[in-house]
Structure 1
Amino acid sequence: MNDADLARRAAEAGAAVVRATDWAGIAREEKGGGDFATAADLAAERAVLDLLRAARPGDAFTGEESGRSGDRSAARQWLVDPLCGTLNFAVGTHLVGVNVALREHGRTVAAATADPYTGETYWTDGAAAHLRRNGLDTPLAPTARSRLVDLNLDPPYPNAPGLRVARLLTDPDFEQEFRPRVVSTTLAVAWVAAGRRAAYLTDGHLADSVHFAAGIALCEAAGCTVTDLRGAPVHTGAGGLIAAADPETHARLLGLLARQQGTHVRR
């Protein structure tokens, strides 16, 4: 089994656990700062890691809930986010994803995001990106036609106060061109690659992130325009992410953010 197939199967194994778990009254494990994991997070992570470890015992692994394991000196590291959108899941909102990504020498070479409730899996071998539905693969085709832009409003905000993604919600020029969405799961990053969102924006330091590695890899392989919030290559600058379906959408959003920074400096 190649790495891309393994990433896809691992994400689907986690998704099967989430789909089979009843959210009502589910046990929570508090992590502090208002964050928590549910029994579904823990069980899905075990299912993903069991499959990965059996297939690639010499690799390193990082799970959101269990932390690092395996050979820490290994050049290959698997990043696992077993349930992105835990709060959504815990209140019965079926907007969640299971993310699996393989990083090797600073590059994501295989990744997958599985949607437990649609049965769809977005996956990439690092070169091309596809959507698997009912056992069939179709290439991901980004487009900005929807004009929907997903904004992640969760902290931290390392670029504040000069730059805040949330300010776009009240920017009249943004309102004229786009329609904001806030779904609070990185499943929305995969939607950009699939043409279901025009763009996705978030702040934060995202290098080797279990939450974002898969979605970024999907967008890059699908041909999206992907940078940090100031237009630098992602992971190299001040942090954050703009993943846009095309260069024009990216340029418009980058301009709105740049103007925001200029306004803050003048004050």
Structure 2
Amino acid sequence: MITDEELALAAAGAGAAVVRAMYGASLARVEKAAGDFATAADIEAEQAILGVIRAARPDDAVTGEESGHTGPDDAERRWLVDPLCGTLNYAARSMLVAVNVALRAGSGITVAASADPFSDEVFWTDGARAHLRRDGVDERLTPSPDSRLVDVNLDPPFPNEASFRAVKLLADPAFAERFGARVVSTTLAVAWVAAGRRAAYVTDGDLRDSVHFASGIALCQAAGCVVTGIHGQPLHTGAGGLVAAADQETHAALLELIGNQSQGTKRG
């Protein structure tokens, strides 16, 4: 029987194939919330992913970005599927997207895969170690702060805007002195932290069971990154958010910069 990690890889690969094949075409859009939409590629990629999962694990619950929840809310095993993270990039013909598949079994993510359809790379974890698969060959992911590049998420919602805004972090002169800012606008950048291509990733928001972030967070944790909430608290507690950093020094520096915003709010 196929293992969970092999299934995550197969499902992400199926979604990535659809995304790659449909790239550049004039695609119908499905309007969602204000300013948000899905394309036909999102929907077809999710169908391909779900087909792979359901064929192998018909009794598992699934949460899909486009199709929503199936299975009981308290399911022991739930697949979290984001078929095209970076839809705006994709619609604008920018090749910065990810196909994310993760399995939550019990209280934690046990396997995950984040595929880049255009580099033919898949970042994956079995829950213990993180790997990059390219041309059928796996290599261990090794975080590194050497790039000094920090990717931030500037998209709403901003539940902690009274004490933290990512745009203010980028505007802080102390941030510019130490780091280089990047805004990739896809959670592929979270996988890049695990791979040593980014020094850190920062976002606000409630990320528990997030189809967007579950895979990247699991990759960072398995690779040995420092992963906490926005104020250094345990992940998915308190204010929520995410600071995923390659090492303790980078993580501490970002927490100090984020803390400066809170201090400024108190003084104001």
Relative to the length of structure 2, the TM-score reads: 0.98
Other-structure match for 1:41: 42
- Root-mean-square deviation (CA, aligned residues, Å) is 0.8
* SS of structure 1 residue aligned to 2:32: strand
Alpha-carbon separation, structure 2, partners of 1:71 and 1:11: 23
**Structure 1, unaligned stretches of length 5 or more?**
none
Alpha-carbon separation, structure 2, partners of 1:136 and 1:22: 26
Deviation at 1:105? 1.2
Deviation at 1:19? 0.2
Is the contact made by 2:23 and 2:90 (CA closer than 8 Å) also made in structure 1?
A: no
Alpha-carbon separation, structure 2, partners of 1:242 and 1:74: 28
**Structure 2, unaligned stretches of length 5 or more?**
none
* SS of structure 1 residue aligned to 2:27: coil
- Counterpart amino acid of residue 99 in structure 1: N
Is the contact made by 1:58 and 1:71 (CA closer than 8 Å) also made in structure 2?
A: no
Alpha-carbon separation, structure 2, partners of 1:153 and 1:73: 32
Other-structure match for 1:201: 202
Deviations 1:219-257 (A, max 9, x none): 000000000001011101211100000010000000100
Task: State yes or no: 1:211 paired with 2:244.
Answer: no
Is the contact made by 1:4 and 1:111 (CA closer than 8 Å) also made in structure 2?
A: yes
Is the contact made by 2:164 and 2:261 (CA closer than 8 Å) also made in structure 1?
A: yes
Other-structure match for 1:221: 222
Task: State yes or no: 1:133 paired with 2:140.
Answer: no
Alpha-carbon separation, structure 2, partners of 1:98 and 1:266: 43
Other-structure match for 2:81: 80
Deviations 1:193-229 (A, max 9, x none): 0000000000000000000000000000000000000
1:59-74 counterparts in 2 under 5 A? 59-74=60-75
- Counterpart amino acid of residue 95 in structure 2: H
Alpha-carbon separation, structure 2, partners of 1:71 and 1:169: 41
Is the contact made by 1:58 and 1:74 (CA closer than 8 Å) also made in structure 2?
A: no
Q: Percent identity?
A: 63
Other-structure match for 1:259: 260
Is the contact made by 1:165 and 1:202 (CA closer than 8 Å) also made in structure 2?
A: yes
Deviations 1:89-142 (A, max 9, x none): 001000000000000111000000000000000000111000000100000000
Q: Which moved more, 1:162-171 or 1:238-247?
A: 162-171
Other-structure match for 2:249: 248
Deviations 1:8-55 (A, max 9, x none): 110111000000003342110000211000000000000000100110
Other-structure match for 1:18: 19
Deviation at 1:163? 1.1
Alpha-carbon separation, structure 2, partners of 1:212 and 1:162: 22
Alpha-carbon separation, structure 1, partners of 2:162 and 2:238: 17
- Counterpart amino acid of residue 47 in structure 2: R
Alpha-carbon separation, structure 2, partners of 1:182 and 1:55: 36
